[in-house]
Structure 1
Amino acid sequence: MTRLLYMVSHPIQYQAPLLRRIAAEPGIQLRVVFEAVDSVGGYFDVGFGTEVKWDVPLRGGYDSVCLDDTCLTKEIAASDVVWLHGWASGALLKALGIARAKGKPVLMRGENWDGAMPEQPGLKGWLRRRFHGWVFARCAGFLAIGSKNRDYYVARGVPPRSVFSVPYAVDNTFFASRATPSEMAALRQQLALPPDRQVVLYCGKFMRRKRPDLLMRAWQHLPEPRPVLLMVGDGEMRDELAAMAGDGVVFAGFRNQTQLPGLYALADVFVLPSEREPWGLAVNEAMACGTAVVVSDQVGSAFDLVDESTGAVFPAGDQDALTHALARVLADGAKRGANAQASMADWDFEADLRGLKEALAHVAG
């Protein structure tokens, strides 16, 4: 039995089902330490600009504790392996130091890749490289969320044999099972979407780096009759986007987890046009629901999940290229959507578990 201690900033809706799956695996005794647990009871999400309380369980089904209610040194001492989600907080760095002092091997899982986190010039870049070198030297293994994340580690001196594939995945079954015709029909009626019009979907925070404004301009250049542009979410750009919108744009506001599958499924294409995106788990969600996707080449998941069979990738910031990509995918969205859903069979929590077990065997010697 391997006693695995996982430390992460807070309960995350994407991770909770994965943690439940790991906890159910024979041979792994999982304990999770959260830096904070405010997200369980609801919190103000700065990106969405609104109060958020997720309507899916965040802590049930696995053993967990808040850092304020325990002693980190004792937690690490009682473990065999420590798994850290990133290195951006003092608490995570403290855990790294304690694990080192206690002789506990550390597995690191982060989101960095050179598109999302490009190297900086001058002293700042030098200091960052030195810091990453210090962190990475204290880790026994790395859990790569995708190919670009793997490349990031290897380019910074991590031996390839120490990097294991633990891909960023979502609960594919949850999304596929809830993307039902009845749910789609109810949402179409609720949102007053014409039954004979295609739907282009944006679902996420209305923030500048995600470029919902670029999508709106690209959509405006599609030939008539244009599909409906369904904008799901909220955030700092809400008023600006509302001022840009004309006929054919529907704002649906923030929607919770249980409502997302139906929204993805009723769309003909989901778009994530970010100028910088470490991964973009909404891409996984849409594909699990059988929806084709169009993403920029600065979205981390583009390199592993998206090609011409499942959607399209366009150069970030290129409005004309996005318009052409939308037109191309809308022409055969059903076929690409079916391919997208099929491709997710190998990008799931079972793949995560396989990679995690390989990493655990590696650090055990």
Structure 2
Amino acid sequence: MSRARLAFVWAQFAPYHLDRLDALAGAGFAVTGIALAGASRRYPWPPAPESRSWDHRTLAPATPLEALSERARTRALLGALAAVRPRVLFLCNWPRPHVLAAACWARRAGVPAVVMCDSWAPEAAPDAWPRRVAKRALLAPYRGGLAAAGRAAGYLARLGVPAGAIAYGYDRISVARVRALANSTPWTGGPAPGFVVVARLAPEKNVAGALDAYVRYRRFCTASGHAPAGLTILGDGPLRAPLTAQARGIPGVRFAGFVGPDVVAATLARAEALLLASWREPWGLAVNEAVALGVPVLASTAVGATETLVQDGRSGYLLAPGDAHAWARAMHRLSAEPATRARLADGAARLAPRADVGGFVDGVGWLSERLA
């Protein structure tokens, strides 16, 4: 195992970033994790504990991410990289100016830069050439890629990242952590959560579509004589007010707001199924959490995680994001057929190894040996 120092840069440390760096350190890698800020308004994760088993650096611990200009981000990040001098540098958010500056610094310093990416686009719908040229220019400094799965890898290769230096495994979490949280966190949310949405309340997440499907689902339950499950929505965002207004008068709907990973795990562990109806979703880490807990997933065909973590009819259902009737039928089937729900739950649990952070360690290990 190479002890060459690896550096990873994210905007802030979320629990799943800590999972990945902890796993790398546990596997014997020398790791530096760099976060631009200690918190953000968009994702108010708690600050990362300082007592980690790897080199932990938060560049602006007391400043929200949104208050840091690109100039301030670039200055702080380049200073940190010059001090760390990693053997391989892993970067995400590649379109951002400060990330491009870091990738260019790496090229000048002779440090291989790896782009971490879960973005993808159908091959049949390529970007117009000006956008494609611009993207290729932004990715030109990179020597390799760490992709979420095959579609993201293909996307990077089409944009010029060397295809022979792209590994899989980016979007992974610690299955053990999620299970431990679910087992140790008491349920304090009242009745069983029923169907659960874990998403930022933003247009691309299509929570309005999930509410529409839930109304239709309740009608199916009334017609068939089955008691409907509830709908619990975990998350916050700019559409909180209109979505709350849409849900007014619909029995069984509960908005819980932004909650910590312990509450997410405790809620999902008791869910009928996870609903992720997004119009656009590069990955969707809530799917990882659901399969870690053996919970069926009803997911939009636009969700990237469905490539490896949802098997239609075996661990959940894949549905068109705009087909509220199909979503309602799938939800009703889970409620009305306990054996079907149990079969899908078992299928989801069998996919848990694909969601686990071990895949991240494998991908990073392969790249570090190839590029270092």
TM-score range, shorter chain: 0.7 to 0.9
AA partner of residue 237 (structure 2): G
How far off its partner does 1:72 sit?
4.2
How far off its partner does 1:254 sit?
2.6
Cα deviations across residues 20-51 of structure 1 (Å, max 9, x unaligned)? 2212332x2212233x2231xxx422xx7xxx
Counterpart for residue 360 of structure 1: 368
How far off its partner does 1:201 sit?
0.9
Distance 1:94 1:72, change over 3 A: farther
Q: Distance in 2 between matches of 1:75 and 1:115?
A: 40
Counterpart for residue 321 of structure 2: 316
How far off its partner does 1:228 sit?
1.1
How far off its partner does 1:70 sit?
7.2
Counterpart for residue 33 of structure 2: 32
How far off its partner does 1:321 sit?
2.0
In the TM superposition, what are the counterparts of 1:187-226 in structure 2 within 5 Å? Answer: 187=187, 190-193=188-191, 199-222=194-217, 223-224=220-221, 225-226=227-228
Counterpart for residue 104 of structure 1: 111
1:55–1:257 Cα contact (<8 Å) kept: no
Counterpart for residue 330 of structure 2: 325
Q: Distance in 2 between matches of 1:325 and 1:53?
A: 33
Q: Distance in 2 between matches of 1:55 and 1:203?
A: 21
Counterpart for residue 265 of structure 2: 261
Pairwise CA RMSD: 2.5
Q: Distance in 1 between matches of 2:48 and 2:290?
A: 18
Distance 1:175 1:2, change over 3 A: same
AA partner of residue 306 (structure 1): V
Q: Distance in 2 between matches of 1:131 and 1:75?
A: 30
Q: Distance in 2 between matches of 1:55 and 1:8?
A: 14
Where 1:355 maps in the other structure, the secondary structure is: helix
Counterpart for residue 64 of structure 1: 56
In the TM superposition, what are the counterparts of 1:114-133 in structure 2 within 5 Å? Answer: 114=121, 119-120=126-127, 125-133=128-136
Q: Distance in 2 between matches of 1:291 and 1:340?
A: 6
Q: Distance in 2 between matches of 1:2 and 1:349?
A: 20
* Residue 81 (str. 1) matches residue 121 (str. 2): no
Where 2:30 maps in the other structure, the secondary structure is: strand
1:313–1:325 Cα contact (<8 Å) kept: no
Q: Distance in 2 between matches of 1:300 and 1:131?
A: 23
AA partner of residue 168 (structure 1): D
Counterpart for residue 71 of structure 2: none
Q: Distance in 2 between matches of 1:292 and 1:58?
A: 35
Q: Distance in 2 between matches of 1:309 and 1:75?
A: 50
The answer to which of 221-230 and 62-71 deviates more is: 62-71
Cα deviations across residues 184-205 of structure 1 (Å, max 9, x unaligned)? xx52xx43316xxx81111222
Q: Distance in 2 between matches of 1:203 and 1:108?
A: 27
The answer to which of 266-275 and 7-16 deviates more is: 7-16
**Percent of pairs identical after alignment?**
24
Q: Distance in 1 between matches of 2:101 and 2:287?
A: 33
Runs of at least 5 residues in structure 1 that lack an aligned partner in the other structure = none
Where 2:15 maps in the other structure, the secondary structure is: coil
1:144–1:165 Cα contact (<8 Å) kept: yes
TM-score of the pair, normalised by structure 2 = 0.83
Counterpart for residue 243 of structure 1: 245
Q: Distance in 1 between matches of 2:297 and 2:48?
A: 25
How far off its partner does 1:53 sit?
4.3
1:55–1:256 Cα contact (<8 Å) kept: no
Q: Distance in 1 between matches of 2:48 and 2:261?
A: 7
The correspondence for 2:297, drawn from 293, 297, 302, is: 293
How far off its partner does 1:352 sit?
1.1
Counterpart for residue 283 of structure 1: 287
* Residue 176 (str. 1) matches residue 179 (str. 2): yes
Q: How many residues align?
A: 340
TM-score of the pair, normalised by structure 1 = 0.85
Q: Distance in 2 between matches of 1:363 and 1:218?
A: 48
2:214–2:328 Cα contact (<8 Å) kept: yes
Runs of at least 5 residues in structure 2 that lack an aligned partner in the other structure = 60-75, 222-226
1:284–1:344 Cα contact (<8 Å) kept: yes
Q: Distance in 1 between matches of 2:80 and 2:237?
A: 36
* Residue 134 (str. 1) matches residue 137 (str. 2): yes
Distance 1:283 1:115, change over 3 A: farther
Counterpart for residue 340 of structure 1: 348
Where 2:180 maps in the other structure, the secondary structure is: helix
The correspondence for 1:94, drawn from 94, 101, 106, is: 101
